Amino acid sequence: MTSSARRKRSARFSDIADAAGVSITTVDRVLNERGSVSRKAREKVVAAARELGIPRLLPEVDTGLLHVDIVLPDNRSPFFRRLGQAFQRIVAMLDRRLVVHRVSVPDNDEAALLRVLAPRRYPRRALIVAAPDSEASRQALHQAQLRGEHVVMVVTRVEALPSAAYVGIDNYAAGRTAGHLIGRYCPQGGRVLILSSRRDYRGHRERSQGCRDALAGLPHLLCDAVSRETRDDPDQCYLALSDAFRRGEGIAAIYNTGAGSPGVVAALRRFVAHKVCWITHELSDDHRQYMQEGLLDVVIDQDPDTQALRAIQHVLAALGLAPPVPGSEQGGEFRLYVPENMRGERYLAE
């Protein structure tokens, strides 16, 4: 009986060894988790055993600590603060073998970003990042992929990085939605002022272009070919609007693709006696207040909590710690809020 069981086990191990291109001894060490075996050999054995349908619980490929970086800009806008809080909550629930380094990079310091994207002192296995769409960041992220790091982009994409996962909304569709709504809110016509946070972020460029494309079919509404860059600064938002109002351009609507809303409110209260349609992003606490006051008409919210969760799921799947994320759940959906359906809970935790 014992001899038969051994022959059956040996035959099974030999099948795995042949499929993986390793010795039977290596298969025994991997599946019974004894002895030192390289990670590459472990991957081959586990993959072969899984392919052959071996009826047993297979060991983890990675036996040591797995290092993951979450790299976000040091942007104090409500959205990035909530995104950071969401990551903090999720990371606290992860397996202790997963070591997550949360890195904050100065918002306009590309050199600092490139230093973080470069090889670290620890063996980084995955990288979750929101980065500008510049040639330098593209190259740095491509090099990270060549080193075997799984790259997940959140909030905004980067060009020429097709193998990186993207977790975020369709920003172009969000911009087109803003343009469509402006057309409905402003039948009288006039000028539409588009404020863009940063032109080096692809997401903001896509939002602006989407809005322009939607407005192109509405001849009674005009907008400039280039958006005014504000970098989420309330003062820059105020200056852009005050200049337009002082010139008497007949502003009918404002679409702000980013933050800096206190500056928009200050300009509206100082220069405008009639209603101006205003659409922006994120159901933050200040935006809820502005909608209650009748200043803000529509908020396009990109659900930072779900973005953080999906990004972590992508990393866990890439490291073999969770099933792959279904295709229908890989992106993100934006939500529209008006005064009648806005939620009552606070946007930021105390």
Q: Which CATH number characterizes residue 45's domain?
A: 1.10.260
Same domain, 181 and 285: yes
Same domain, 204 and 146: no
Q: What is the percentage of the chain residues whose pLDDT exceeds 70?
A: 93
Same domain, 212 and 229: yes
| Residue 58 resides in a domain | no
Mean pLDDT of the 262-289 span = 95
Mean pLDDT of the 145-159 span = 94
Same domain, 76 and 177: no
pLDDT of residue 181: 98
pLDDT of residue 150: 95
Higher pLDDT, 95 or 257: 257
Per-residue pLDDT of 198-230, as tens digits, reads 999 999 999 999 999 999 999 999 998 888 999
Same domain, 87 and 48: no
78-91 and 304-318 are packed helices; what angle lies between their axes, rounded to 10 degrees? Answer: 40
Mean of pLDDT over the chain: 90
Measured CA distances, 191 to 108, 112, 224, 236, 295 (Å): 31, 39, 9, 19, 18
| Residue 41 resides in a domain | yes
5 Cβ contact partners less than 8 Å away, ≥ 6 residues apart: none
Q: Flag the least confident range among 2-16, 91-105, 155-169, 317-331.
A: 2-16
pLDDT range class, residue 29, cuts 50, 70, 90? confident
β-bridge mates for residue 72, sequence order:
104
- Give the span between the Cα atoms of 228 and 264, in whole angstroms: 13
Dihedral of the alpha carbons of 208, 211, 217, 220, in degrees to the nearest 10: -100
- Residue 177 phi/psi, 5° resolution? -60, -40
Q: Flag the least confident range among 18-22, 41-45, 208-212.
A: 41-45
Same domain, 72 and 129: yes
pLDDT of residue 231: 92
The DSSP letter of residue 111 is H
Same domain, 108 and 118: yes
Report whether pLDDT(20) > 80: yes
Same domain, 175 and 297: yes
Most distant pair of Cα atoms in the chain: their distance: 95
| Residue 346 resides in a domain | no
| Residue 113 resides in a domain | yes
| Residue 232 resides in a domain | yes
Mean pLDDT of the 284-296 span = 96
- Give the span between the Cα atoms of 94 and 77, in whole angstroms: 27
Domains of the chain: total? 3
pLDDT of residue 27: 87
> Residue 97 belongs to a domain with what CATH number?
3.40.50.2300
Report whether pLDDT(6) > 90: no
- Residue 298 phi/psi, 5° resolution? -140, 140
Mean pLDDT of the 169-177 span = 97
What residue has token string 């903001």? 204
pLDDT of residue 4: 45
pLDDT of residue 331: 66
| Residue 343 resides in a domain | no
Per-residue pLDDT of 236-269, as tens digits, reads 999 999 999 998 889 999 999 999 999 999 999 9
Same domain, 146 and 224: no
pLDDT of residue 249: 81
Mean pLDDT of the 14-39 span = 84
Higher pLDDT, 87 or 37: 87
For residue 49 the two structure tokens come to 């055993």
Per-residue pLDDT of 184-205, as tens digits, reads 999 999 999 999 999 999 999 9
Report whether pLDDT(86) > 90: yes
Same domain, 225 and 127: no
Q: What is the percentage of the chain residues whose pLDDT exceeds 90?
A: 68
Same domain, 214 and 147: no
- Give the span between the Cα atoms of 39 and 59, in whole angstroms: 12
Residue ranges making up the domain that contains 250:
171-301
- Give pTM, 2 decimals: 0.82
| Residue 177 resides in a domain | yes
pLDDT of residue 237: 97
pLDDT of residue 214: 97
Same domain, 41 and 129: no
pLDDT of residue 54: 80
| Residue 35 resides in a domain | yes
